[in-house]
Structure 1
Amino acid sequence: MINVYEQYWYPIINSFHHGETALTPHIGLSTAEYTALADTVELPPIDTQDLPQYSAITLRDELLSMREDELNDLTELLTDFMNTNQPYAAQMAKVIAVASMGSQHLWKDLGMPERPRLSQLFHDYFPQLHALNNRNMRWKRFLYRQMCERGGDYVCRSPSCETCTSYNECFGDEV
């Protein structure tokens, strides 16, 4: 059995501590949730104010507050598909939603070492979403496409991926 703490949570929290994520204070969780996770993965919880990138983290938090509806929609989408048998599943949905608001590839904004590990995370935490992404669309684009198909106010740029001029940007390997 895969150790989700070592495989997913440790890299996320460690990357956050080193300023290598697009996450907000406490990785987008409550102080209690963050502290419990940090203790579980044996990383000391760090007060956001003590991080060298404190101003960037608080700025991200302020900007995120202006996109609260979008964040809630992403969280709801992920929550609807989460595997409740995984530890901290609801928290993972929140953390991924927050990271999805970043400007880079989702695996980078989340602090994962590579995209395949993010795909494995989706397989373990959101298996139905993983199965729906059967053409290996980049995860952030895939999530927004799912929100579009749910009838949200999100732009679906093409009625069919095959006719889209950005096809190569959505599918394939990331560098």
Structure 2
Amino acid sequence: MTKEDEIELFWLPIMLSYIAGDTVLPPMLGLEHAPYEALTAKTRVLRQTLNKQHQHALRQLRQQLRNMRHKEYQELMALLLEHANPDANLVEPAAAVIACGCLGNRHLWKDLGLPERPRLSRMFAWYFPQLFRANDRNMRWKRFLYKQLCEQGGDYICRAPSCDECSTYSECFGAEEH
């Protein structure tokens, strides 16, 4: 997949949703300056519109949330990058954006502003193929990532010794509604 394919398939919907206010992403999509510039280099008109959104008060609050949950953000980033596709062009920005999206309260695909969950699954399949294959029971992505952190001995509470015994099993699997 080329960088242009990645931008069209994954990044364009995220950027358009960001402009519309439909993501939980902080300023610059949660990216550092250099990766943000590299990502938006080919979309100059779109970048101008994106840049106008960065100072919005809600975006600043989202940046404060990310700062307050910095350790959690870093653990998510490390998990994602540990399983990164070496052939992907924009894997580090993908990890950063997904980690920021995990700090939201809705389904991850909604918090990123993607049009549907299958697009997020394709994103995982491309950028983080080991994690994609490990999610063989189609667990919701945010829950899956936190379960991975829990199993690594993180500070996250696992609700049951196995999913089959968990009282909230039905919340983790199955169709997500819009």
Percent identity of paired positions between Structure 1 and Structure 2: 47
Superposed counterparts of 1:13-162, under 5 Å: 13-41=15-43, 43-46=45-48, 50-51=52-53, 54-162=56-164
TM-score for the superposition, normalised by structure 1: 0.93
**Alpha carbons 1:11, 1:113 under 8 Å: kept:** yes
Give the C-alpha shift of residue 43 in structure 1.
Answer: 4.8
Please tell me the residue identity of whatever aligns with 1:159: P
Please tell me the residue identity of whatever aligns with 1:81: H
Report the Cα distance in structure 2 between the residues aligned to 1:10 and 1:70, rounded to whole angstroms.
26
Give the C-alpha shift of residue 14 in structure 1.
Answer: 1.4
Give the C-alpha shift of residue 162 in structure 1.
Answer: 1.0
Report the Cα distance in structure 2 between the residues aligned to 1:137 and 1:43, rounded to whole angstroms.
37
Off by >6 Å, runs of 4+ in structure 1: none
Helix, strand or coil: the match of 2:21? coil
Report the Cα distance in structure 1 between the residues aligned to 2:51 and 2:61, rounded to whole angstroms.
12
Report the Cα distance in structure 2 between the residues aligned to 1:85 and 1:43, rounded to whole angstroms.
28
Report the Cα distance in structure 1 between the residues aligned to 2:25 and 2:45, rounded to whole angstroms.
17
TM-score for the superposition, normalised by structure 2: 0.92
Q: Which runs of 5+ in 1 are unaligned?
A: none
Name which of structure 1's ranges 8-17 and 38-47 shifts more when overlaid on structure 2. 38-47
Report the Cα distance in structure 2 between the residues aligned to 1:46 and 1:52, rounded to whole angstroms.
11
Give the C-alpha shift of residue 163 in structure 1.
Answer: 1.1
Q: Root-mean-square deviation (CA), in Å?
A: 1.8
Q: Which runs of 5+ in 2 are unaligned?
A: none
Give the C-alpha shift of residue 41 in structure 1.
Answer: 4.5
Query: Number of matched residues?
Result: 175
Report the Cα distance in structure 2 between the residues aligned to 1:70 and 1:80, rounded to whole angstroms.
15
Report the Cα distance in structure 1 between the residues aligned to 2:171 and 2:63, rounded to whole angstroms.
28
